């Protein structure tokens, strides 16, 4: 189902949704676009901070919470295709697969309706195409929105639930011209993203030809020299899902929390007896790239990097994944 909404009508639709669910939409806060409770319509700027991961795999949660009270449904508006690829291709397979599936993840995933948005204004740091993605959504969300102009939004339902959300919405049908406009908008975004990076990493990266450079200790020491081990790249990444299972003090009762962990933290590879398999930052830094660009591809069949560019924007040391990949190719 395709429907065209004016901005006023879209606001009405969002207001209606906010009565039956928690509604988060992108909100401009200073330089950044962040998800926040619905106030206004800001659908064009990419990326939105706090990826889909934050809503289906929160940074800290009780490990046994599945028997807790039902959570109210959440509608998340503004999710980009990079996050959807990461969730479908990696997170769902880890936490909602056959082996030891995670009841709370499944519940939160089911409770989260995804309203995706085509990338109208991709950032300079976006490079999804080279990771095997595209800057618009044709499947994986409940509804997809294409901003056609400042006042016209094309909504397409992509699931039964999406169809239900759009029913009785008093919008008009789409014209041929508007569908062609959508194609043009998508083409423009595609070309813009394509210009941001030109090395294909969609089938993993660390191949035989790169092994020599990738094993050079000095090379990684140089690259990681500015890294302050803050973990921002891991935490903003829509596919980094490493967690640590921590105990909470509670006398003889079991209470554990799952918290995001970062492979750049020194403790990540340490074990009892003061042994640490990767005590040096440069080794852990290298591991992060190998995990994203090689191990995850081998395991999931899609690149662990979905090209959202959040690690580039969030790094206080201005480390740019694209430059590191370029460097590996050139050396």
Partner 1 sequence: MKTNSPYFPQTAKIIEIRPETSLVKSFRLSLDNEISFSPGEFIMLTIPGEGEFPLTPTSEPIKSTVIEVAVKKEGYATELLHEKRIGDVVGIRGPYGKGYPLTELSGRDLILIAQDEGIIQLHSLLMKILSDRSRFPRLTLLYEFLNDREVVYSSKFNNWHNEFIFYKTSSENNSSTKKGIDQLLSKIDLDFDKASAVIAAPESMIKKIALSLNMSGISSEQIWIPLVRNMSCGIGKCRHCITGDYYVCKDGPVFRLSDIYDTLGSIL
- In the complex, minimum distance from the CB of residue 100 to partner 1, in angstroms, rounded to a whole number: 4
Q: Are 148 and 171 in contact (CB under 8 A)?
A: no
Nearer CB in complex with partner 1: 95/120: 95
251 binds partner 1 (CB under 8 A): yes
In the complex, minimum distance from the CB of residue 72 to partner 1, in angstroms, rounded to a whole number: 21
End-to-end CA distance of the chain: 51
User: Can you tell me which of 70, 99, 218, 330 binds partner 1, judged by CB under 8 A?
Assistant: 99
Pairing of strands 152-157, 243-247: unpaired
Query: Which of 94, 96, 230, 317 is close enough to bind partner 1 by CB under 8 A?
Result: 94
The dihedral sign for the CA sequence 44, 46, 47, 49: negative
Q: What does the alpha-carbon distance between residue 241 and residue 234 come to, in Å, rounded to a whole number?
A: 8
User: Which parts of 180-209 interact with partner 1 (CB under 8 A)?
Assistant: none
Q: Which of 1, 74, 134, 295 binds partner 1 (CB under 8 A)?
A: 295
Rounded Cα–Cα distance for residues 169 and 195 (Å): 38
Nearer to partner 1, 209 or 246 (CB): 246
Segment 210 to 239, residues that bind partner 1, using CB under 8 A: none
Distance CA 331, CA 329 (A): 6
Nearest to partner 1 of 4, 305 (CB atom): 305
Q: Do residues 292 and 214 make contact, with C-beta atoms less than 8 angstroms apart?
A: no
Cα–Cα distance for residue pair 99/111, rounded to 1 Å: 21
**DSSP-derived 3-state class of residue 17:** helix
- Taking the C-alpha atoms of residue 240 and residue 86, their distance in angstroms, rounded to an integer, is 9
The site that binds partner 1 (CB under 8 A) totals a number of residues, namely 46
Q: Which of 31, 98, 208, 253 binds partner 1 (CB under 8 A)?
A: 253
Using alpha carbons only, what angle is made at residue 262 by residues 46 and 212, rounded to the nearest 5 degrees? Answer: 90
Integer-rounded Cα Rg, in Å, for the chain is 21
Which position among 5, 197, 205, 287 is part of the footprint of partner 1 (CB under 8 A)? Answer: 287
CA proximity to 281, closest of 222, 330, 325, 331: 222
The answer to whether the beta carbons of residues 264 and 234 sit under 8 Å apart is yes
Q: Is 77 helix (H, G, I), strand (E, B) or coil?
A: strand
Q: Is 102 in the site for partner 1 (CB under 8 A)?
A: yes
Number of H helices, E strands in the chain: 14, 12
Segment lying near partner 1 (by CB under 8 A), choices 1-9, 72-80, 288-296, 319-327:
288-296
Residue 96 within binding range of partner 1, rule CB under 8 A: no
With CB under 8 A as the contact rule, the residue among 137, 291, 305, 328 that binds partner 1 is 291
Out of 160, 250, 318, 330, point to the residue binding partner 1 (CB under 8 A).
250
- Which residues, numbered 254-283, are part of the site for partner 1 (CB under 8 A)? 254-256, 258, 261, 263, 268-274, 277-278
Applying CB under 8 A, the span of 62-70, 109-117, 119-127, 181-189 interacting with partner 1 comes to: 62-70
Nearer to partner 1, 150 or 250 (CB): 250
Q: Exposure pattern of 222-241 as b/e (b: 16+ CB <10 Å)?
A: ebbeebeeebbbbbbbbbbb
Binding site for partner 1 (CB under 8 A): 63-67, 94-95, 99-104, 241-245, 247-256, 258, 261, 263, 268-274, 277-278, 286-287, 290-291, 295, 298
């Amino acid at each position: 189902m395709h429907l065209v909404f004016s901005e006023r009508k879209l606001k009405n639709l969002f207001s209606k949704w906010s009565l039956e669910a928690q509604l988060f939409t992108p909100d401009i806060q200073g330089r950044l676009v962040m998800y926040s409770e619905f106030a206004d319509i800001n659908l064009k700027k990419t990326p939105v901070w706090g990826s889909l991961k934050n809503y289906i795999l929160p940074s800290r949660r009780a490990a046994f919470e599945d028997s807790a009270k039902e959570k109210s449904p959440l509608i998340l508006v503004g999710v980009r295709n990079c996050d959807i690829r990461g969730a479908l291709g990696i997170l769902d397979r880890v936490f909602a697969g056959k082996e030891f599936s995670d009841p709370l993840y499944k519940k939160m995933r089911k409770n989260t309706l995804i309203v995706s948005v085509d990338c109208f204004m991709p950032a300079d740091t976006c490079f999804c195409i080279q990771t095997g993605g595209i800057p618009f959504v044709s499947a994986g969300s409940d509804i997809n929105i294409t901003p056609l102009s400042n006042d016209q939004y094309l909504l397409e339902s992509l699931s039964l639930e999406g169809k239900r959300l759009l029913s009785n919405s008093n919008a008009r049908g789409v014209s041929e011209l508007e569908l062609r406009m959508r194609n043009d908008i998508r083409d423009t975004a595609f070309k813009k993203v394509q210009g941001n990076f030109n090395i294909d990493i969609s089938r993993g990266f660390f191949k035989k030809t790169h092994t020599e450079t990738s094993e050079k200790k000095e090379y990684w020491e140089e690259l990681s020299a500015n890294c302050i081990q803050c973990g921002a790249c891991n935490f903003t990444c829509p596919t980094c899902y490493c967690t640590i299972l921590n105990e909470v003090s509670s006398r003889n009762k079991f209470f554990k929390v799952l918290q995001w962990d970062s492979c750049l933290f020194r403790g990540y590879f340490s074990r009892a007896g003061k042994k640490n398999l990767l005590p040096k930052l440069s080794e852990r830094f290298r591991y992060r790239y190998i995990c994203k660009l090689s191990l995850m591809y081998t395991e999931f069949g899609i690149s662990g990097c979905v090209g959202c560019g959040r690690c580039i924007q969030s790094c206080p040391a201005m480390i740019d994944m694209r430059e590191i990949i370029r460097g590996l190719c050139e050396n």
